[in-house]
Structure 1
Amino acid sequence: MFLDNNEKIVDSPAAVAETGTVIPQTPDAAFEFLSHAKAIGINPSSVDKTRLRWKVDFRLMPILCFIYFLQYLDKTLLNYAAVMGIRENLTSNQFSNLGTIFYVGYIVAEPITSYLMQKFPIGKYLGINVTLWGVVVACHAACHTYAPLMVIRVLLGVFEACVAPSLVLITGMWWTKPEQSRRTGLWYLQIGVAQIVGSGISYGFQHVNSTLLANWQILFLFMGCLTVVVGILTMYFLPDNPMSASFLTMEEKVHAIEHVRVNKTGVENKNFKWSQVRELLYKDTQTWLLLLIVILAMIDNGAVSNFSSIIIKTFGYSNEKTTIIQMPSGAVSIIATFFATYAVSYVGERALMVAIITLPSVLGAGLLLGLPDHYKVGKLFGVYLLNFCPAMLPIIYSWGAANTAGYTKRTMRNALTLMAFCIGNIIGPQMFKEQDSPKYNPAKIALIVTMSAVVVLSLALRQLVCWENNKRDKETKSTEEYLENSEFLDLTDIENSGFRYSY
């Protein structure tokens, strides 16, 4: 069953063949569900739309937010453990390598996990991975030297690789494009919450005395057990898609699917299509420019995630004060993410927002580089401002989801984005060399250059998208014939001439 804007009912993909659009043999899973719903006489018109939106939000958003909160906190526990004694058996470069090797495991696993999340029920797959990385976090407590820590960090990267792409796909299943920006912002700003909570937890565990375990070991054990519990709950309570959501009635399921029709990106398709992968890599003009933006921006993220405590400690603060002083970084991240994602949801202009949100971080790196050592407060503000740039990542997530149709293409777009994310985070810690301590001036200069490039490239991408939309407007006399009922046929954005890109 398909209801277009004129309430026309269409029963099969063949009904749109007259438009000249290439019809895939395996349409979106929502197509079959809606056809079945029509056959048994389901009428979604009686559904209270507002109540349904709140029902979906209250069921899904707490799970997504808590998973992303744990994902960031668990991988950055090493940053807090650095001032709790874990570095006693490590050199500075070895500690840098521990920050890097996590993303090596992440980047290797990303294309594999993206393929698996399309083939298996995504809610169950995500829950299993959360449980497994919780076990790995707890195992950090048994690792005292460089070699076992390297192994355990690789495994943590492998199991955490599914989180962001899974959450992006789930968000795209349930919410429209403006709604996706806000929801993505809500679960992504958990990074800031994790920074605040992580600093508090680390401060608390620094005052725990035990003759059996070091306080950093207790920290890893506690967080690992908590993550395992959340993973198990996720397997039971997170639905795989709107069609299988047990907390919704049939009428509500149909309405939930119809609600996202406007996205023109479908809901879910379990058939992996290599043609969509080739289109992403070789035909989509946005792909590589977008990846370069992510790589350059995430160099800053890698630096902040692994070296913020070390940078602050060079200002002369004690371990305890260094931990507490990191808390405002989380507040900055929350404010930046909230502002950026909500502004995008109302006015669009993702490219401009990426540029705007990056500029404070350029200033922050400049303060760290240019201020004399006795300006501790100014340098501290420089560290805080570095947390603005990573707030552009949820904009990139929602941008990719909004501009990518075809389920396989979306999963692979997410994989490439996260691989670029990893490359940037691999480069970031490596810029902080032992021979450059304690000032690390070469790293600060590199941050200024890379983030300035992000501003320029985001504006270039905006222009590229505008050109493509104008080209399609000129080539298509009437887009309506192409758009009608193509939303759930698993067409890509390039195959569907009526698709228009967001910028």
Structure 2
Amino acid sequence: MDYGLWIMDFGLWIMDYGFWILDYGSNKNMLENIKTKTSDLKQDINISIAEVSESNLNPVNNIDNEKLIHSHKLSKKLKWKVNLMILPFFMVTYFLQFLDKTLLNYASIMGIKKNLVGNEFSNLGTIFYVSYIAAEPFSAFIIQKIPAGRFLGFSITCWGIVVACHAATTSYVGLMIVRVLLGIFEAPVAPCLIIISSKWFTKPEQARRTFFWYAQTGIAQIVGSLMSFGFQHVHHTKIASWQIMFIFMGAITVIVGILVFILLPDNPLECKFLSEDEKMEVVEHIKENQTGIEDRSYKFHQVKELLLEKETWVMFFIIILSATNGGGLTVFSSQIMKTFGFSNEISALVQMPGAFFLIASTFVCCYLPSYTGQRSLMIAAVTIPTILGAALYMGLPNSNKVGKLFGVYLLNFNGAVIASIYAWNSANTAGYTKKNARNAMTLIAFCIGNIIGPQIFRAEDAPLYKPAKIIILAFLAAAFVLSIILRYFVRSENKRRDILTANYTEEEKNKDVLMLDLTDRENLNFRYAY
């Protein structure tokens, strides 16, 4: 465990980044070096020299193989350098994404619902994820074609502008428009983070690093609750307090987006803050992933392979079933708290303890698998307290407010399921196109769950929302069963591969496939983390 990460000084990365130069074409002069120093590899994979041309090479192929050292482990100094270059951007980005999209929840008790009737507020929560789904395939394709770091920075800047624009409208139609745009520009975030993470960290490291950025959902809940409480005490202004809140967060997000666009390194070989030897050291370090680094060509056979895998669809439905719970809480948690008799101000504050449950469960799900390898069991494990929370919230009488409130807090364990799945995707998917496609499917399933979530909280069922409670409980139980099935599928595949490769020579087992862009199915030496 990298204990030093707990005391990271966020001021250091600003000092380290002062001399960034946006330059994507600087690697062309290495073309001839590649042709001479990778000739042995080309013979092994039956690719002729004629097939390697300036048109089909990209910067990440420019590797001096003579500098690669096997069984490599990063020095402590370089590990710190990489962590400080990558993690602060990941953490701030995910913090803002979650906070910005959930401002609607806090604004619901600050006056934004004044001009809304019936299920219109639920529709505002749903339409965000409808546009998110629509944008996800396009985002995956764009990530394949341009540097993920630049695309991420552009998206953050755009959604910051949209967040500020929430303050300019109070009508249902106007709010629907800005929610659609917000969904479009937030769609690339998680895929970009997962893709960039896989280029910098090994599988165990990816799981641990996922905790640091995904746990920001809990931090965002705490900050959002405090911010809502504070802005509710802003009076005697020409615009409403919720409008000031949207403008404030929009401005901060735009600034962060510009910094990410300029400073976030996309992969080790394009990083301006590493020496050539350090670049090779990082590349050698991640070779054990057997997932490759990057390939700009879009390979449809990798998408087909993904769609034909039974594990893909088991995971797809786990995400939908789990995200339905989160979708409801994200939009309606403030109003649920009001049903316990709290004032608007206190309703904002009492949501904070749930964030600590989310952070704790995310820590367990991201750190334990990096040492035990038990990813699917972690998904099942965190579903159990979530089921208990749903049962308490549904089954206890209204007079037992403490018990019902504790049940709502337990529902926050569900957030760790998505964190586990992000780490699972990063560790268990090889092939650049396939990785992008899997991330897109994950986000599509996540959006479907979040579309369903607000809709099960119907206006006519308020304030108890009994049908919603029953649906959430049933969905969580089904997700638990599917996570056990997923473990069985993946474990069986590993055993099958052990049999097929039992007679492999050491040379065949250790063959370097870093630059071949093989999928996990094509590379029999690949083993799934289950």
TM-score normalised by length of structure 2: 0.89
**Maintained 8 Å contact 2:126/2:451:** yes
Pairwise CA RMSD of aligned residues?
2.3
Q: Is 1:120 matched with 2:146?
A: yes
Provide closer, same or farther for how the CA distance between residues 118 and 12 of structure 1 changes in structure 2, counting only shifts above 3 A: farther
Give the aligned residue type for 1:320: E
Q: Is 1:33 matched with 2:62?
A: yes
Matched residues in 1 for 2:57 and 2:476: separation?
39
Cα distance, 1:294 vs structure 2 = 0.6
Give the aligned residue type for 2:487: R
Matched residues in 2 for 1:407 and 1:42: separation?
22
Could you say which residue in structure 1 is the equivalent of 2:521? 494
Q: Is 1:143 matched with 2:169?
A: yes
Give the aligned residue type for 1:474: I
Q: Is 1:458 matched with 2:486?
A: no
State which of 365, 371, 383 in structure 1 corresponds to 2:390: 365
Give the aligned residue type for 2:496: K
Provide closer, same or farther for how the CA distance between residues 12 and 401 of structure 1 changes in structure 2, counting only shifts above 3 A: farther
Could you say which residue in structure 1 is the equivalent of 2:198? 172
Could you say which residue in structure 2 is the equivalent of 1:484? 511
- Paired residue total: 489
Matched residues in 2 for 1:367 and 1:44: separation?
53
Q: Is 1:389 matched with 2:414?
A: yes
- What are the within-5 Å matches in structure 2 for residues 42-441 of structure 1? 49-282=75-308, 284-441=309-466
Give the aligned residue type for 1:51: K
Residue by residue over 1:159-179, the C-alpha shift from the partner in whole angstroms, topping out at 9 and shown as x without a partner, is 000000000011111000000
Cα distance, 1:330 vs structure 2 = 1.2
Give the aligned residue type for 1:231: G
Provide closer, same or farther for how the CA distance between residues 384 and 28 of structure 1 changes in structure 2, counting only shifts above 3 A: farther
Give the aligned residue type for 2:170: H
Cα distance, 1:11 vs structure 2 = 4.3
Residue by residue over 1:144-169, the C-alpha shift from the partner in whole angstroms, topping out at 9 and shown as x without a partner, is 01111011101000000000000001
Matched residues in 1 for 2:289 and 2:52: separation?
18
SS of corresponding position for 1:388:
helix
SS of corresponding position for 2:211:
helix
Matched residues in 1 for 2:391 and 2:298: separation?
46
Cα distance, 1:348 vs structure 2 = 1.3
Provide closer, same or farther for how the CA distance between residues 249 and 210 of structure 1 changes in structure 2, counting only shifts above 3 A: farther
Give the aligned residue type for 2:374: E
**Maintained 8 Å contact 1:493/1:499:** yes
**Maintained 8 Å contact 2:139/2:188:** yes
**Maintained 8 Å contact 1:30/1:488:** no
Give the aligned residue type for 1:415: A
**Maintained 8 Å contact 1:141/1:217:** yes
Provide closer, same or farther for how the CA distance between residues 48 and 256 of structure 1 changes in structure 2, counting only shifts above 3 A: closer
Residue by residue over 1:329-368, the C-alpha shift from the partner in whole angstroms, topping out at 9 and shown as x without a partner, is 1111111111211111111111111010011111111111
Provide closer, same or farther for how the CA distance between residues 126 and 328 of structure 1 changes in structure 2, counting only shifts above 3 A: same
Give the aligned residue type for 1:103: Y
Matched residues in 2 for 1:106 and 1:192: separation?
21
Where in structure 2 are there 5+ consecutive unaligned residues? Answer: 1-29, 31-36
Cα distance, 1:275 vs structure 2 = 1.1
Provide closer, same or farther for how the CA distance between residues 376 and 43 of structure 1 changes in structure 2, counting only shifts above 3 A: closer
Give the aligned residue type for 2:273: F
Cα distance, 1:13 vs structure 2 = 3.7
Cα distance, 1:15 vs structure 2 = 3.9
Matched residues in 1 for 2:324 and 2:504: separation?
44
Give the aligned residue type for 1:413: R
Residue by residue over 1:21-42, the C-alpha shift from the partner in whole angstroms, topping out at 9 and shown as x without a partner, is xx9999995763213x74xx79
Q: Is 1:14 matched with 2:42?
A: yes
SS of corresponding position for 1:405:
coil
Cα distance, 1:473 vs structure 2 = 1.7
Provide closer, same or farther for how the CA distance between residues 307 and 274 of structure 1 changes in structure 2, counting only shifts above 3 A: same
Where in structure 1 are there 5+ consecutive unaligned residues? Answer: 2-8
Does 469-478 or 205-214 show the bigger shift? 469-478
TM-score normalised by length of structure 1: 0.93
Cα distance, 1:211 vs structure 2 = 3.1
Provide closer, same or farther for how the CA distance between residues 497 and 87 of structure 1 changes in structure 2, counting only shifts above 3 A: same
**Maintained 8 Å contact 1:28/1:488:** no
Matched residues in 2 for 1:110 and 1:210: separation?
42
Residue by residue over 1:368-389, the C-alpha shift from the partner in whole angstroms, topping out at 9 and shown as x without a partner, is 1111111111111111111001
Give the aligned residue type for 1:373: N
**Maintained 8 Å contact 1:138/1:225:** yes
SS of corresponding position for 1:34:
coil
Provide closer, same or farther for how the CA distance between residues 195 and 479 of structure 1 changes in structure 2, counting only shifts above 3 A: farther
**Maintained 8 Å contact 1:169/1:411:** yes
Cα distance, 1:16 vs structure 2 = 3.0
Give the aligned residue type for 2:85: R
Cα distance, 1:91 vs structure 2 = 2.0
**Maintained 8 Å contact 1:10/1:485:** no
Matched residues in 1 for 2:356 and 2:327: separation?
18
SS of corresponding position for 2:62:
helix
**Maintained 8 Å contact 2:59/2:270:** no
Give the aligned residue type for 1:359: I
Residue by residue over 1:122-142, the C-alpha shift from the partner in whole angstroms, topping out at 9 and shown as x without a partner, is 111100100000000000001
Provide closer, same or farther for how the CA distance between residues 312 and 45 of structure 1 changes in structure 2, counting only shifts above 3 A: closer
